[in-house]
Amino acid sequence: MNTEFKIVKAEEIIDEAQRLKFDGYHLMQQCSTRTADGYELVYSFGKALDVLQVKIILTDGQPINSISHVFPCAFLYENEMHDLFGIDIQMISLDYKGKFYRTAIETPFK
Amino acid sequence: MSTRSVIPFGPQHPVLPEPIHLDLVLEDEKVVQAIPSIGFIHRGLEKLVDKKDFHEMVYVAERICGICSLGHGLGYCDAVEHIMDLEVPDRAKFLRTMLSELSRMHSHMLWLGLLADAFGFESLYMECWRIREEILDMFEMATGGRVIFSIMKIGGLRRDIPDDMLRDFRQRLDSIEEGLKMVSKPFFDDVAVKNRLVGVGILTPEKADLLGTAGPFLRASGIARDIRSTGYCAYDKIEFEPIISTDCDSYARTVVRIKELYQSIDIMRQCIDKMPAGAVDVPVKPNQFPNGEYMARIEQPRGEALYYVKANGSKFIDRMRVRTPTFANIPALVDILAGCDFADVPILVLTIDPCISCTER
């Protein structure tokens, strides 16, 4: 398992996703972790049994573009990150507008 | 001109006790689009890292699901052990491998029973679940539990499985294999089964890869991706090849799972034959805490599961994130539903072997 994380700027994520897709990678998962002044997003891409991890550092309130137009399955992970952490992800191909998870409190992981 | 209508399907499924909802856009009897809706029972278990220390989180991970609980405990432990640089003893690795295969058999037999039930083959359904009871008996002997096992711990296993019990397991596997031969025959040969499954719900290899599909659902589309091939636990010392089918349909998914049952029996026998002696855990000191991040991945019965752990050097970790196989398989489910007959929807949902409990962790 590759334990290294490649740091990518938020505004470069679509380019990075397109490059990885061209190289034959598929999207394995996207997740978020709360930090003191924002969020760390980890996107995992796989090719056969190899893994490439991409990390994006976001400040509070900083938006990021969706990669669901590059990897269609991303819409699930991105709606999850929006509903649990309140991350502003723009242009999700299927945007549930905060109704993906029926949680008792809004953005419970924020 | 065909009539277009939207039919809400779920959240109850004819044979699944867990909620998943689909808005099905139909043209006459054909589904043209399916919009999934989950989140009815999201529990926020990952948030418990704020209240439970990294040892206690093993129990939380196990409670993500009552079918895949062993694998969830294993995946979380594997991630933390990598962060803490703990070398798990060989015997624990082999026992973990053996129990993982027992878990796969338990899950696949459960699914086969549900599939038979969906066809109305009630005696076949009950026979599948009777065999599953034998598997659960083995779990109870080995761990004391039939649903939540609590045998995984950071550094190995909580208890050893004695050699005489392993010899008994070997005999029990013969009995299970005989039962499996009996129940697999109708799935392979029955006309009614083939009529409902062959050519239904085609998922091409290109789509399967693009949509991030996992497990038997992926391998039934001809992609030989099985995370056991990475050699975690003792899989690097076991001889096996990923089971695939190139037919890409619902029948292929059934055949792959049945063949995986035989493969699991074979892997368990290899584990018992090659079982090394020695301890089953490496001690973790009270003042030893994880610091770092790692993403472990294991092959759960339903496919690849990912366990991301980020720790800060204290007893409370920052983040545990579990990407379950069913979550990864929802986009491909939506893809195969488009173009199918409305009557095939319940079977197609079933053929991905969905585990909503895992998904709603």
More confident residue, B291 or B41: B291
Three-state DSSP class for residue A6: strand
Q: What is the pLDDT of residues B297-333, one digit of tens each?
A: 999 999 999 999 999 999 999 999 999 999 999 999 9
Residue of A nearest to B78 (CA): A1
Among the partner residues A28, A33, A99, nearest to B319 by beta-carbon distance: A33
What pLDDT is stored for residue A1 in this prediction?
57
Q: Which helix (H) or strand (E) holds A22?
A: helix A13-22
Q: What confidence tier does B246 reach under pLDDT thresholds 50, 70, 90?
A: very high
Of B38, B296, B321, the CB nearest to A1: B296
3-class DSSP state for residue B19?
coil
pLDDT at A57 exceeding the cut of 90 = yes
pLDDT of amino acid A3: 67
pLDDT at B36 over 90: no
The answer, yes or no, to whether residue B1 has pLDDT greater than 70, is no
pLDDT at A56 over 90: yes
Phi, psi angle pair for B288, to nearest 5°: -100, 115
Note whether A28 contacts B: Cβ–Cβ < 8 A: yes
Identify the pLDDT of residue B20.
81
Which residue carries 């703990």 as its tokens?
A: B86
Residues from chain A contacting residue B10 (CB–CB below 8 Å): none
Predicted confidence at residue B119, as pLDDT, reads: 85
Contact A29 B306 (CB under 8 A): yes
Q: What does the pLDDT read at residue B279?
A: 94
CA torsion angle B279 B281 B283 B286 (round to 10): -150
Peptide bond into B186 cis (omega under 30): no
- Chain-chain contact of B210 with A109 (C-beta, under 8 angstroms): no
**pLDDT tops 90 at residue B39:** no
Looking at the DSSP assignment, which residues form a beta bridge with residue A50? Answer: A47
Question: What integer pLDDT is reported at residue B239 of this predicted model?
Answer: 94
pLDDT digits (tens, 9 = 90+) for A8-39: 999 999 999 999 999 999 999 999 999 989 99
B134 in contact with chain A, both atoms CB, cutoff 8 A: no
- The CA distance from B117 to B176, in Å, is 20
- The answer to which of A43-52, A79-88, B1-10, B179-188 has the lowest mean pLDDT is B1-10
**Residues in contact with A44: Cβ distance below 8 Å, sequence separation at least 6, in sequence order:** A27, A28, A29, A30, A51, A52, A53, A54, B295, B306
Which of B38, B46, B322, B326 has the most A C-beta neighbours within 10 Å, making it the best mutation to test the interface with A? B38
Q: Which residues pair with B292 in a beta bridge?
A: B311
Alpha helical stretches, state H, chain B:
57-62, 69-84, 90-119, 122-143, 163-189, 191-197, 205-210, 216-219, 250-274, 325-337, 345-351, 356-359
Tell which residue, B108, B145, B103, has the closest CA to residue B129.
Answer: B108
Higher-pLDDT residue of B1, B322: B322
Q: Which of A5, A29, A35 should be substituted to probe chain B, the one whose Cβ sees the most B Cβ atoms within 10 Å?
A: A29
Name the residue of chain A whose CA is nearest to B46's CA. A109
| Residues on chain B touching A82 (C-beta within 8 angstroms) | none
Chain A residues 57-76 with a CB less than 8 Å from chain B: 71-73, 75-76
| B323, B326, B356, B358, best to mutate vs chain A, most A CBs in 10 Å | B323
Answer whether A42 sits within 8 Å of B44, measured CB to CB.
no
Check B321 against A51: CB less than 8 A apart: no
Q: What is the pLDDT of residue A2?
A: 54
B67 touches chain A (CB under 8 A): no
**For the segment B51-107, what is each residue's pLDDT rounded down to a tens digit?**
889 999 999 999 988 888 999 999 999 999 999 999 999 999 999 999 999 999 999
Report the pLDDT value the prediction gives residue B157, as an integer from 0 to 100: 95
Report percent pLDDT > 90 for chain B.
77
Report pLDDT digits (tens) over B42-63.
888 888 878 889 999 999 999 9
**In angstroms, rounded to a whole number, what is the distance separating the alpha carbons of residues B276 and B248?**
40
Please write the tens of the pLDDT for every residue from B327-359: 999 999 999 999 999 989 988 988 988 887 788
Give B331 to chain A, closest Cα distance, Å. 6
What pLDDT, on a 0 to 100 scale, did the predictor assign at position B185?
93
B268-290 burial: b if 16+ Cβ within 10 Å, else e:
bbbbbeebeeeebbbebeeeebb
pLDDT > 60? residue B259: yes
Could you tell me if the ipTM is greater than 0.95? no
**Residue B295: per-residue pLDDT:** 94
Q: Which residue on chain A is closest to B35 by alpha carbon?
A: A94
Distance CA B258, CA B264 (A): 10
Q: Which of B35, B82, B294, B297 to mutate to test the interface with A (most CBs of A within 10 A)?
A: B297
- Which residues in chain B touch residue A34, judged by CB atoms under 8 angstroms apart? 318-319
**pLDDT given at position B338:** 92
The band of B122, judged by pLDDT with boundaries at 50, 70 and 90, is very high
More confident residue, B18 or B218: B218
